[in-house]
């Protein structure tokens, strides 16, 4: 009986976890299936909606049932500090200098550069919003709006809507007065807000007409345009960009295969296929240079898209996430 149990435990397939929706559909075609074919071993893929506590629970319980996970920058930093992830073998990846500096960590490898931006349906709005001030303007653009159900991004967007310059946002948000200002701005929009949690939801809300505009991940917007012929538009000014990374959970059973998978997914010839499916930027600099021009203009990393965008301040959120999330949840519950 013991031998049979050990055998079944050892037979768990490599499990890779990402963000679902049309993004994970693309990853399945470009990374998961080809890697399984190359190695002759199955790859299971699951999706999640993020959250440091989820990773903590998986690792601290022992023998996590996930191997490789795509995480946001804050989860990477916190998890690395907390010992939740295996160290990356950068020699297998050809060295750190192949990647953007922000995409390099001892515990993670940059997978995509992505933005959260305003999306609206160009088929329904000939002249759509051009800023977060417009997002808040329910007279000019009547109807519900959707935002991600989290303090992160929501508070920054509220300050941008209130006239704070993009380079001052985190300085203002670091003060009690700035936090109060962001929540006062949110109070204005509260009756008109719908909240989303998973990356596919905002585009479903937009497609159904339940909302007139929404915050959304930029790649999902162009992804649904390509797959379903939509005319959804991305508003780049005031967007916030960040890097997601691949990590391997501490003591994961398939950590060696996980490292091989990350190496495979990071190869320029594989990574450069992604923008053809979904418009995320590529942290591997050689891969980024190989992107076809017709796709490059849609990426967060295009210079004209970067010009009026701001970078997510990861350190700010590591320091302030707990307090601001607590206040945000209390505000939601009012």
Q: What is the pLDDT of residues 179-206, one digit of tens each?
A: 999 999 999 999 999 999 988 899 999 9
Give the pLDDT of residue 21: 84
Q: d(Cα 76, Cα 84) in Å, to the nearest integer?
A: 9
Q: d(Cα 227, Cα 233) in Å, to the nearest integer?
A: 15
Q: d(Cα 29, Cα 273) in Å, to the nearest integer?
A: 10
Give the pLDDT of residue 3: 43
Residues 75-112 have pLDDT tens digits of 999 999 999 999 999 999 999 999 988 899 999 999 99
- For the cut 50, the answer to whether the pLDDT of residue 4 exceeds it is no
What mean pLDDT, rounded, does the chain reach?
93
pTM, to two decimals: 0.82
Nearest to 119 by CA among 298, 310, 320: 298
Burial 290-319 (b: 16+ CB within 10 A, else e): ebeeebbebbbbbeebbeebbebbbebbee
């Amino acid at each position: 009986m013991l031998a049979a149990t050990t055998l079944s435990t050892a037979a768990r397939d490599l499990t890779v976890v990402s963000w679902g929706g049309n993004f994970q559909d693309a990853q399945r075609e470009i990374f998961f299936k080809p890697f399984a074919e190359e190695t002759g071993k199955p790859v299971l893929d699951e999706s999640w909606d993020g959250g440091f506590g989820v990773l903590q629970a998986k690792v601290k319980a022992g023998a996590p049932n996930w191997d490789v996970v795509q995480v946001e920058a804050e989860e990477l930093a916190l998890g690395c500090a907390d010992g939740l992830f295996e160290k990356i073998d950068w020699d297998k990846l050809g060295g750190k200098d192949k990647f953007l500096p922000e995409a390099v960590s001892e515990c993670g490898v940059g997978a995509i550069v992505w933005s959260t931006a305003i999306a609206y349906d160009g088929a329904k709005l000939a002249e759509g919003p051009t800023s977060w001030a417009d997002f808040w303007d329910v007279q000019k653009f009547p109807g519900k709006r959707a935002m991600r159900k989290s303090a992160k991004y929501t508070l920054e967007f509220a300050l941008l809507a209130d006239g704070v310059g993009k380079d001052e946002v985190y300085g203002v948000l670091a003060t009690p007065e700035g936090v109060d200002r962001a929540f006062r701005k949110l109070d204005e929009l509260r009756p008109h807000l719908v909240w989303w949690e998973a990356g596919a939801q905002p585009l479903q809300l937009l497609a159904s007409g339940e909302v007139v505009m929404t915050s959304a991940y930029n790649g999902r917007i162009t992804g649904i345009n390509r797959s379903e012929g939509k005319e959804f538009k991305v508003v780049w000014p005031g967007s916030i960009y960040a890097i997601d990374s691949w990590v391997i959970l501490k003591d994961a059973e398939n950590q060696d295969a996980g490292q091989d998978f990350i190496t495979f997914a990071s190869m320029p010839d594989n990574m450069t296929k992604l923008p053809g499916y979904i418009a995320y930027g590529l942290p591997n600099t050689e891969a980024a240079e190989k992107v076809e021009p017709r796709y490059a203009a849609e990426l967060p990393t295009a210079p004209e898209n970067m010009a009026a965008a701001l970078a997510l301040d990861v350190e700010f959120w590591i320091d302030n996430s707990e307090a601001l999330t607590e206040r945000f949840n209390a505000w939601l519950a009012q």
